[in-house]
Amino acid sequence: VKSEGPKLVPFFKATCVYFVLWLPTSSPSWFSALIKCLPIFCLWVFLLAHGINFLVSRRSASRILAGLIFSAVGDAFLIWQEQGYFIHGLLMFAITHILYSSAFGMKPLDLKAGLLMGLVSSSCYAFLYSYLSGPFTYLVAVYIALIGFMGWRAVAGLQLCNDLWTWTKLSACIGAMLFIVSDLTVALNKFCFPVPYSRFIIMATYYAAQMLIALSAVESRDEEDFRKRS
């Protein structure tokens, strides 16, 4: 907290600005896109503050930074989703989940976690299926598969039962779960039925998820111990 907390102050301030201004979604503009993306920009700065050498030497950190860049582009597209840019935003976030999955890695494999995430993802899609039509029938299926895979890789890295975990691994896991909650709320609100306080739920869980995933990229002695023990 002492070492990383101050670097996150701009992110918290930018998040507060978003919720305080609470710009209407009915009148999209470049200003509203900037305000929405500003917390993600601050997470770019958070990672860059650790130095270029840090990003170059740690591929997971550079991939998370790339994921944050695609996320910001996706956020901008979603500002104009009613003008036909929802699919563009969906594509940007799909790339984000691929990058995050790559950052989390494939070791340990943990097939039990994979099976659990597969069941959760399949259940979500089965529920949404009757509400989908046209290209969304398969686009949503692919997207759910990608975010479910990302969640699997985040959960698999935790290894709570084997006592082989670090706070960065826990951060990645919680962040991935919050991202799933955020996107599921988006899907329910867009395709199924109005979700009360949907915008607040979506953005609060989304910003928290991105912050925690960015934190998971931070180098620490805990991670060095994790690699030695595993």
Over the stretch 62-76, which tens digit does the pLDDT of each residue have? Answer: 999 999 999 999 999
Is the Cβ–Cβ distance between 115 and 107 less than 8 Å?
no
pLDDT at 224: 46
* Its pTM surpasses 0.85: yes
**Cis bond upstream, residue 108 (ω within 30):** yes
pLDDT at 3: 82
pLDDT at 98: 98
Spatial neighbors of 85 by CB under 8 A, at least 6 apart, are: 77, 78, 79
Count of structural domains, the chain: 1
Number of DSSP helices (H) and strands (E) in the chain, helices first: 10, 0
Which residue ranges of the chain lie beneath pLDDT 70? Answer: 1, 160-164, 219-230
Its domain, for residue 44, covers 4-228
Is the Cβ–Cβ distance between 72 and 79 less than 8 Å?
no
